[in-house]
Amino acid sequence: MKPILEVKNLKMYYNTRSGYVKAADDVSFVLNEGEAMGLVGESGCGKTTTSMAIMRLLAENAEIISGHIYFKGKDLLKLSEEEMNKVRWAGISMIFQAAMNSLNPVYRVGDQIIEAIVTHEPNVTFEEARERVASLYKLVGLDPKRMDNYPHEYSGGMKQRAVIAMSLSCNPDIIIADEPTTALDVIVQDMILKEMSRIQKKLNMSMIYISHDIAVIAEVAEKIGIMYAGKLVELSDSVTIFKKPAHPYTVGLMSSFPSIKGEKKELVTIPGEPPNLLNAPDSCRFAPRCPFATKECWEKEPPYEEIEPNHFLACFHPQNLRKQVSEYARG
Amino acid sequence: MIKYIGNRLAQILILLVIYVAVVFFLLHSMPGGIEAVLATNPNLTPAARESILKAFGLTQPLPVQFVLYLKNIFTFNLGISYSFYPTPVWTIIARRLPRTILLFTTATLIAFFVGFASGKSLAWKRGKTSEYVSTVVGVIAYTVFTPLLIFTLIWFFGSYLGIFPLNQFLNPDLWIRTNLNAQTIFLYLLLTISLIGLAMLASFAIAQKVSHRVKTRKIIFYISTAIAIALAVFWWAVSPVGIYGFDILWHMILPVMAVTIISYAGTMLVMRDSMLETIKEDFITTARAKGLPDKVVRDKHAARTAMLPVITNFVLSMGFVVSGGVITETLFSWPGMGMTLLDSVLAKDYPLASGALIFTGIFVLFAHLVIDIVYAFLDPRIRY
């Protein structure tokens, strides 16, 4: 498997009047060709920031302090804006958090997809682009006739499908799906996710799913990264993450979602809330909420290391915690 | 759509009747009036005064006068002006309305486009020094006392630099040597400018139909506009009356400049705010993520959507055009509707004053209708 995207020690801070907000701190991961990866974490833990940094669509006060993002061997952080524009959509495309609002209300949906195609492939005529949009519509399960409608004439699920069709329009190598189904009801959510997974396998693309719902990610991703307070705390294939999670936060995340099949058990919440990332301390950021925190955790930052092949972790106490956590919650 | 326009026309008719009633009774409730003017004239015998009042129908009770007036309006009879006796009001308005329309439509359109373009780039350059400077200049232009601005302009361009005429509609020294009618030349000018406007609209529509590429569309639009303007300039340059047309245009520059400066800032500030709102929208991030060039994101996605509230503001400003017109036209001695309105009210010339008010009212009502129809084309979410 060849790596297609390599994020190395990415540090992205927001420069605010009261100091730096460490939104993404030392994030590293590798995405291989044809692989689907998930990024999971609570709101405000840096998932979206990381994906926006990959696309280089950051707010004006965002500063990339250090790190590299290699896409097909090129460091995206060193490209000029024009070169970056060529990578956007044709190389890496995105499905945004609020798909509902990511279509411009005054243009026809089809035209907005065609716009992306003709921008990146100037040789494609308008008619050819239209045909491609029609076939994309069929692929995502939309009626091609609807491409001449305006966004307000679509239902929520249809808009979501149209946005997916748009993300596929320039045959990108990677699609970043940022909470692609959060705004939809559970049934449509499931349908759309399965559809996306099917298309991804069919076209052999790489995919990054971002969600706060580890159960959703588990369905579609082969590899899962857990983010907490701007840091990647655990990264491994989804089987390992589920069978033997090593970070207390991962365990907490999994215990806070019900499972339909397995044994009946009490849902466990993680006490407390994520820390303020403004001038975040150089200790383990999960320590205040962690039942197993020791003196060491409060003093030093745990290194992000490979504890076994393809299993990365940033914790001083790697162990099988699942049982301990649930016991702790009961007692 | 046709049904909607029909409904709106019916509404306009009802509004117009109400408006005429308000104008009529308001003017007649002013103290003084033509009776007082006649009564204080020592050269008139009571019998002569009585016969004059009778001839104008002023001896009848006010409600009867109103019904008669309303009836006459629908036969395009607005009465006879007292101060320009015996010229009918209709004739005076027909001569002066085009002058106001040309002056203010030109200025309002220029102000709209300047305000739109500058508001757009201001929002895009948020936080830079140029943004602060332009915003402050805009607020000053928006709030400045109109006569002060106009006198400054007249002093600077007319007196200090001496490149533009101080006031008036034309230069009498030039026109005294010819027996041409200034009104005819002016109407030809108005016709030429309207034709250029129509040609621009048509080429815009054709460009939209012919090509899907923005570049080709722009080329078609600019070339045909240039051809239309070149043809018009050529016709006027060759024709023997060209110099007279040029004279009128020359007199128009300062008033147009004044009205533009007063009204561009409103558009600019609203556009800036609207753009700043729109930039935060998710579809702008999508447009950026699609790898569209910065200019395309700004013009095609942000500005196009941000434009809608600006159009609303533009419609509302149409009303102020009328009130601002009184000051501007009077200070520039531009013989249009604003000046007519002021002069006729001061002279207690009720027929002319109400005629002028009714026509500005009709103008504003129809402007609203036109903008409402345009809105349906600009915003696909609006359907009538």
The per-residue pLDDT string of chain B (384 residues; one tens digit each, 9 = 90 and over) reads 788 889 989 999 999 999 999 998 988 888 877 777 777 777 888 888 888 888 887 788 888 888 888 888 888 888 888 888 888 888 888 888 888 888 888 888 888 899 999 999 999 888 888 888 988 998 998 888 888 999 999 999 988 888 888 878 877 777 777 777 888 888 888 898 889 989 998 998 888 888 777 788 888 889 999 999 999 889 888 888 888 888 888 888 999 999 899 888 888 999 999 999 999 888 999 999 999 998 889 988 999 899 888 887 787 777 666 656 888 888 888 888 888 888 888 888 888 888 888 888 888 888 888 888 888 888 888 877
What backbone torsions phi and psi does residue B173 show, to the nearest 5 degrees? Answer: -60, -35
Q: Which residue from B291, B293, B304 is facing A90, i.e. has the nearest CB?
A: B291
Q: Are residues B167 and B185 in the same domain?
A: no
Question: Which residues are CB-contacts of B50 (< 8 A; sequence separation ≥ 6)?
Answer: B59
pLDDT tens track for B167-189: 788 777 777 777 778 888 888 88
Query: Which of the residue ranges A52-61, A124-133, A257-266 would you say has the lowest mean pLDDT?
Result: A257-266
Identify the residue among A112, A114, A115 best suited for mutation to test binding to B, counting B beta carbons within 10 A and taking the highest.
A115
- Sign of the alpha-carbon dihedral angle for B4, B5, B9, B12: positive
Average pLDDT for chain A: 86
Which segments of B216-307 are extended strands (E)?
none
Q: Span A278-302, mean pLDDT?
A: 83
d(CA B142, CA A191): 55
3-state SS assignment for residue A9: strand
pLDDT tier for residue A25 given thresholds of 50, 70 and 90? confident
Least confident piece of the model among A98-102, A205-209, B230-234: A98-102
Q: Do the domain assignments include residue B28?
A: yes
DSSP H or E run through B238: helix B214-238
CB contact under 8 A, B281 and A150: no
B209 vs A: CB within 8 A: no
User: Which CATH number is associated with domain A3-91+174-330?
Assistant: 3.40.50.300
Q: Is the pLDDT of residue A320 over 70?
A: no
pLDDT higher than 70, residue A330: no
**Distance between CA A111 and CA A130 in Å, rounded?**
8
Q: Give residue A179's region: left, alpha or beta (phi > 0; psi -120 to 50).
A: left
Nearest to B286 by CA among A211, A99, A189: A99
Residue B82 maps to a domain: no
Q: Which of B296, B311, B316, B361 is nearest to B124 (CA)?
A: B296
> Which residues face A94 on adjacent strands?
A176
Q: Nearest residue of A to residue B291 by CA position?
A: A85
Distance CA B122, CA B109 (A): 20
Amino acid sitting at position A215: A
Residue scoring higher pLDDT (B116 or A275): B116
Binary contact (B285, A81; C-beta < 8 A):
no
Alpha carbon distance B105, B194 (integer Å): 11
Closest Cα in chain A, distance from residue B287 (Å): 9
Residue labelled with tokens 């110099």: B243
- Shared-domain flag, residues B209 and B188: yes
Residue B83 within a domain: no
Task: Pick A96's closest partner by Cβ from B282, B296, B301.
Answer: B282
Please indicate, yes or no, whether residues B273 and B378 belong to a single structural domain of this protein.
yes
- Do B134 and B276 have their domain in common? yes
Residue A329's pLDDT is 54
Is there a domain that residue B378 lies in? yes
Q: How many CA atoms lie within 13 A of A138 on its CB side?
A: 5
Domain count, chain B: 3
**Nearest residue of B to residue A168, measured between CA atoms:** B290
Alpha-carbon torsion (A113, A118, A120, A124), positive or negative = positive
Considering B73, B102, B125, which residue would you say is the last residue of a domain? B73
State whether residue B383 sits within 8 Å of chain A by CB: no
Domain containing residue B363: CATH number: 1.10.3720.10
Closest approach of B209 to chain A, Cα-based (Å): 13
> Does B208 contact chain A (CB < 8 Å)?
no
Cα A129–Cα A132–Cα A136 angle in degrees, nearest 5: 140
pLDDT of residue B180: 76
Burial of B250 (0-12, 13-18, 19+ CB in 10 A): middle
Enter the tokens of residue A211: 């969600």
**ipTM topping 0.95:** no
Q: Do B290 and A101 touch (CB under 8 A)?
A: no
> In which domain, by residue range, is B374 found?
94-171+255-384
Asked whether residue A181 carries a pLDDT value surpassing 90, the answer given is no
Assess whether B319 and B351 both reside in one domain. yes
Whether residue B380 and residue A98 make contact (CB cut-off 8 A), yes or no, is no
**What was the pLDDT predicted at B49?**
83
Out of B285, B294, B381, closest to residue A96 by CB: B285
pLDDT at B322: 61
The C-alpha atoms of residue A72 and residue A6 are separated, in whole angstroms, by 9
The answer to whether the CB atoms of B380 and A105 lie below 8 A apart is yes
What are the tens digits of pLDDT across the range B90-140?
A: 888 888 888 888 888 888 888 889 999 999 999 988 888 888 898 899 899
Q: What angle do CA B276, B263, B124 make, to 5 degrees?
A: 20
**Tokens representing residue A270 in the block:** 């993680």
pLDDT of residue B102: 84
Same domain? For B167 and B259 the reply is: yes
Closest approach of A154 to chain B, Cα-based (Å) = 12
CB B143 within 8 A of CB B262: no
Residues of B in contact with A114 (CB under 8 A): 212
Task: Tell me which chain B residue has its CA closest to the CA of residue A97.
Answer: B282
**Chain A within 8 Å of B380 (Cβ-Cβ)?**
yes
Contacts of B299 in chain A (CB under 8 A): none
Burial of A161 (0-12, 13-18, 19+ CB in 10 A): buried
Q: What is the pLDDT of residue A324?
A: 58
DSSP-assigned letter for residue A224: E
- What percentage of chain A has pLDDT greater than the value 70? 92
The residue in chain A having the minimum alpha-carbon distance to the alpha carbon of residue B283 is A102
In single-letter form, the type of residue at position B250 comes to W
One-letter amino acid for residue B164 of the chain? F
Place of tokens 């556009």: B271
Chain B nearest-CA residue for A163? B286
Residue A309 DSSP symbol: T
Answer yes or no: do B68 and B194 share one domain: no
With CB atoms and an 8 Å threshold, state whether B290 touches A103.
no
Across the interface, do A116 and B290 touch by the CB < 8 Å criterion? yes
In a domain, B220, yes or no: yes
For residues B113 and B260, state if they share a domain.
yes
Give the number of A-B residue pairs with CB atoms closer than 8 Å: 76
Residues A2, A8, A9, CA angle at the centre, nearest 5°? 160
Interface test with A, best of B213, B290, B377 (most A CBs within 10 A): B290
A132 shares contact with chain B (CB less than 8 Å): no
Q: CB of B344 within 8 A of CB of B352?
A: yes
Assigned domain for B118 exists? yes
The answer as to whether B246 is a domain residue is no
Give domain limits for chain A.
3-91+174-330, 99-171
pLDDT: which is higher, A180 or B148: B148
Q: Which residues in chain A (91-110) have CB-CB distances under 8 A to chain B?
A: 93-94, 96-98, 101-106
| Each residue's pLDDT tens digit, A255-272 | 766 666 666 666 677 777
Give domain status of residue B314, yes or no. Answer: yes
Check CB contact of A116 with chain B, cutoff 8 Å: yes
B294 touches chain A (CB under 8 A): yes
Residue B290, CB half-sphere, CA atoms under 13 Å: how many? Answer: 32
Contact A11, A25 (CB under 8 A): yes
CB atoms B305 and A102 under 8 Å: no
Cβ–Cβ of B292/A94 closer than 8 Å? no
Token pair of B27, please? 């003017």
Are B220 and B259 contained in the same domain?
no
Per-residue CA distances from A301 to A21, A71, A186, A280, A313 (Å): 17, 29, 39, 11, 12
pLDDT at B4: 86
Nearest-by-CA chain A residue for B126? A60
- For an interface test with B, which of A102, A118, A130 has the most B Cβ atoms less than 10 Å from its Cβ? A102
Confidence of residue A132 (pLDDT cuts 50, 70, 90): very high
CB atoms within 10 A of CB B344: 25
Phi then psi for residue A123, to 5 deg, are -80, -15
Residue of A nearest to B280 (CA): A59
H-helix segments, chain A: 47-55, 81-87, 109-120, 126-139, 156-168, 186-203, 214-220, 238-243, 248-255, 295-299, 322-330
